[in-house]
Amino acid sequence: MGSAKTKDKFRAFMLDKGLKSTRQREVILEEFLSVGSHLSTEELYLRLRRKNPRIGYATVHRTLKLFAECGIAEQRHFGDGQARYEASDLDEHHDHLICTSCGKIVEFEDPRIEQLQEKVARQHGFSIERHRLELYGCCESCR
C-alpha cells in the first residue's frame, strides 16, 4: 500500500502549507506510489484515466510538482524530452543505468563513486548539493 511513511510525509506537508486534501490527490498519490517506477506525467495521467475518466492532465501535472516540492518524488530527465518522476526513497540516493535499446531503467548505488565525486568537487572549490549520474548502454537481454 505504498509507503505509509511517504503518505504521512505528504499529509504533513499539505497541513504545513495549508493545502487541502482532495479525492484527486489521494488517487494520484496512491497510483504513483503503487507504480513506483519512472513515470512521465502523460503515462501517469493515462493510467489514472482508466479508472478515473474525469481526472485532468493539469491536475496530475500539478500534483506531481507538489510531490517533488514535498520531497516524496524526484523529477528526472533521461533525454527523451519529457520529465519523469520517481518516488524518492527518503534517505537513500541512487543513480541509473538506461538501456538505449529497450529503455529499461535499472537503479544502482555506489558509495565509492560518491566519495570520488566529493573529492573532485572539493578540488575545484565546489560544495555538492546534488548530482546526476546516468550510464547509457545495452542491457544483457538486448544482446
Partner DNA sequence: CATCCAATTGAAAACGGATTTCAATTTAAT
Partner DNA sequence: ATTAAATTGAAATCCGTTTTCAATTGGATG
* Chain contacts with DNA (rule: CB under 7 A): 14, 18-25, 40-42, 54-59, 61-63, 65, 81-83
Nearer to a copy of itself, 12 or 120 (CB): 120
HSE-CB for 109 with a 13 A CA cutoff: 6
Q: Using DSSP, state whether 73 is helix, strand or coil.
A: strand
Is residue 103 within 8 A of residue 84, CB to CB? The reply is no
Where on the chain is the footprint of a copy of itself (CB under 8 A)?
77, 79, 97, 99-100, 106, 108, 110, 112-113, 116-117, 120-121, 124-140, 143
Residue 37: contacted member of a copy of itself, DNA, none (CB under 5 to 8 Å, by partner type): none
Residue 6, C-alpha cell as written in the block: 511517504
Q: What is the torsional sign of CA 109, 113, 119, 120?
A: negative
Residue 140: contacted member of DNA, a copy of itself, none (CB under 5 to 8 Å, by partner type): a copy of itself
